[in-house]
Structure 1
């Protein structure tokens, strides 16, 4: 059954514009925490030369991903992947949208470790979502969102770019680019050395 996340309609085109500058011309893009599956369906249509491997640990999400990607030739069947475990298939790029803030820190650590193993030299890890930066004021809407997240689960919350970057380094991942996006979000692009 197809699930719908309203934010997807608002952010998919701005995200796709950044992806057009970063993704390889061909190869496999592994999406971690694909959620509803709407992003992977939209991006597969936008980038038909790439193969897309969606994933999620949640059974209902996997069903939604399969429904959204049904009949799309360059989208593979979704995999049950728990980011915290970091057990990823080999990929030419790894994409993760809106997971880092709405999961325990261990999921981010697993994501970074998994991407470090899955990517070959030069491969990008692309993260999208709300982040904090040292010395940069956070938007009031992000402050309110963080309170809502913490109320859901004390382990959730907006992460500092600097802390994610420090945690990425041992896995051969270096922050190459930070892109400010609409609605107080960021795209972080890490490269495998």
Structure 2
């Protein structure tokens, strides 16, 4: 069992540092507000519409940490909640590799936050840590999600396959990008 921890993403030449920190009850209103964004909801498999749903989601996040199967963080930039980041354990046969996922609030998009978090998490996963060892990491997204495709490419994730739709959870085709541990 892993206790929720904090990860830091250093500043870039044009952006401040990011903190990936455990979720808190005080984040519930911000999570609900983020999920009101039509653009974001279009790509999510699950949308949170109210504070009760957000509390249930936070309980799932805590359970994921306890089981070492889902490590989920709030992304903060200069004290403001700007997104969500998750590392999911492989779950054969559904997923064969450790996976990463994310969303950013509307005001934070286009600032490189997702790609900086993906790169930092990739380095951490390949660093020899023992919480969730990985030799291969996948990044999945709906084919039409050009922003996530750019994040994958920028972070060195190679397009491995186009996935068939799996309704109702995944009604559209998907991209499976992979990055392998360096030899």
If asked which structure has higher relative contact order (CA below 8 Å, sep 6+), I would say 1
Give TM-score scaled by structure 2 length. Answer: 0.39
* Greater share of residues in helix: 1
